[in-house]
Structure 1
Amino acid sequence: MEIVICRDAVEAGKLGAATIAELVRNKPDAVLGLATGSSPLAIYDELARLYDAGEVSFAKAKGFSLDEYVGLAADHPETYHNVIRRDFVHRVDFEDGNVRGPDGLAEDIPAFCAEYEAAMAAAGGVDLQILGIGTDGHIGFNEPGSSLASRTRIKTLTKQTRIDNARFFDGDLDRVPTHCITQGLGTIMSARHVVLVASGVGKAEAVHHVAEGAVSAMWPGTILQHHPHVTVLLDEGAASRLQLTGYYRETYAAKPAWQGL
């Protein structure tokens, strides 16, 4: 796990976007794992800028969204199907149908989840998975207590997650769905490269556990310690609880340029 401490969320976003752009240039049909929420927005903004400047194309790339609320109407602005298109997909040149997400209105959710896993495998697996992290350490919607080997499935959201997400529903907790479909921790671990981005002191405790704590289902993101290629991009606030900040800064400063992230 590589910890990169940036000046701010904008710098973190530029680093993440540069890594994704390089991947897509070298492998035009790359498969991206796409996360929603506030954390990846700086990455998507920079990728859209690079696309507008003619420096990257997603015309042959594919994407799979990380999660989706269960039960929201298809035209609801806060379905993750609509959010990821608004935040990223429709700002670049993905081909129609090349970005898929969980179906929160599926009649047979277990069958859909199995099909979604099969679709990711048929695409060749995820080359790079973008992640944020919740204040309670969840990645995707794998809440504390989730199986570390879990695959795509339905989950019940914790009250804390619903409180955190109420800002997207005009602050009304009752409007936040109670269930979701999410890629599992085992599914996320199948990606060849994971880029986790976090900003603000509110994420500092979770980041501390993920980077320096014991691997535990109580902090689901800690499973990433077992992944061979994880990059964690932090601003100063999100890094404020880390114990080894000096070491992380030294190792990144001394890193050979050819290694990339």
Structure 2
Amino acid sequence: MEVVITDHPEQVMADIITGAVRGGATTLGLATGSSPLPTYRELIRRHREEGLSFAGVDAVLLDEYVGLPPTHPESYARFIRDNFTDHIDIGEVYSPDGMAPDSRIAADAYDALIGEVGPVDVQILGIGSNGHIGFNEPSSSLTSRTRIKTLTEKTRRDNARFFDDDLDQVPFHVITQGLGTICDARHLALVATGEGKAAAIAATVEGPLSASCPASILQWHPRATIVVDEAAASKLRDADYYRYVYTNKPENQAGH
């Protein structure tokens, strides 16, 4: 695992994606929410101003709310198009079917689809304040596959800001890639900013591998990069060591 503490997380994340795309990546895993937005804006800038092309690259989303059509302003299918993929020359963009009559069947079908278009070359991740990635809430199986999940009250309250601060509008259920599905990706790149994520980042990096902090599964992955600003790194016990290693790592060394 590589921990990068930086004043410009979006630049480091965009460098990871740029390197993968220019190196022949064919499938990207995209996260929604506020954490990846600066990265997406930087990638759009590079596409427009520096000629970064995503031609020949497909994308898969981590999750989708159950009961929201893809045209809903807070559906993740709509979010990723409005904030990223409609602004670049990417190929197909796949997401779970939140309107399927049977969410369990839809989840199984989406997991199979990821296997067909993958493996994912780089999976972008955010993290919840309770340590969830995707919508794998605490107690999620560390080997779980794509499935329907019930959101915790904390996560629903955290997401209410996207629904006019009206908790009643926030769905109770989602279809999410499981931790096992996420870990099928070749490279996991997680970004977090702000003091509100500091405890979750500390548990992810320096706590035990535990279903109580789903993001801790990154410790188990052969190639994981965690990119944080100073505030999100503020509870890391070994922050100085991570800075030293990143500053002095060999050229072209991948994050391990």
TM beyond 0.5: yes
Secondary structure of the residue aligned to 1:195 is strand
CA distance in structure 2 between the aligned counterparts of 1:199 and 1:16, rounded to whole angstroms: 12
1:88 lines up with 2:84 in the alignment:
yes
Secondary structure of the residue aligned to 2:252 is helix
1:260, distance to aligned residue in structure 2 (A):
5.1
Runs of at least 5 residues in structure 2 that lack an aligned partner in the other structure: none
Secondary structure of the residue aligned to 1:207 is helix
- Specify the code of the residue in structure 2 equivalent to 1:103: D
- Indicate conservation of the 8 Å contact 2:66/2:103, yes or no: no
For residues 110-189 of structure 1, the aligned pairs below 5 Å read 110-189=104-183
- Specify the code of the residue in structure 2 equivalent to 1:207: I
- Indicate conservation of the 8 Å contact 1:44/1:88, yes or no: yes
**Backbone CA RMSD of aligned residues:** 1.0
1:230, distance to aligned residue in structure 2 (A):
0.3
For residues 1-261 of structure 1, the aligned pairs below 5 Å read 1-7=1-7, 11-27=8-24, 30-95=26-91, 98-259=92-253, 261=255
CA distance in structure 2 between the aligned counterparts of 1:55 and 1:260, rounded to whole angstroms: 24
- Indicate conservation of the 8 Å contact 2:191/2:227, yes or no: yes
CA distance in structure 1 between the aligned counterparts of 2:3 and 2:96, rounded to whole angstroms: 30
Deviations 1:180-238 (A, max 9, x none): 00000000111000000000000000000000000111111111110010000000110
CA distance in structure 2 between the aligned counterparts of 1:260 and 1:48, rounded to whole angstroms: 24
CA distance in structure 2 between the aligned counterparts of 1:153 and 1:224, rounded to whole angstroms: 20
Secondary structure of the residue aligned to 2:101 is coil
What TM-score comes out, normalization by structure 1 length? 0.95
What TM-score comes out, normalization by structure 2 length? 0.97
Deviations 1:70-103 (A, max 9, x none): 00233210000000001110010113xx110011
- Indicate conservation of the 8 Å contact 1:215/1:225, yes or no: yes
CA distance in structure 2 between the aligned counterparts of 1:243 and 1:141, rounded to whole angstroms: 27
CA distance in structure 2 between the aligned counterparts of 1:124 and 1:83, rounded to whole angstroms: 22
1:54, distance to aligned residue in structure 2 (A):
3.7
- Specify the code of the residue in structure 1 equivalent to 2:23: N
- Specify the code of the residue in structure 2 equivalent to 1:159: E
CA distance in structure 1 between the aligned counterparts of 2:45 and 2:85, rounded to whole angstroms: 13
Runs of at least 5 residues in structure 1 that lack an aligned partner in the other structure: none
Identity of matched residues, %: 53
- Specify the code of the residue in structure 2 equivalent to 1:237: A
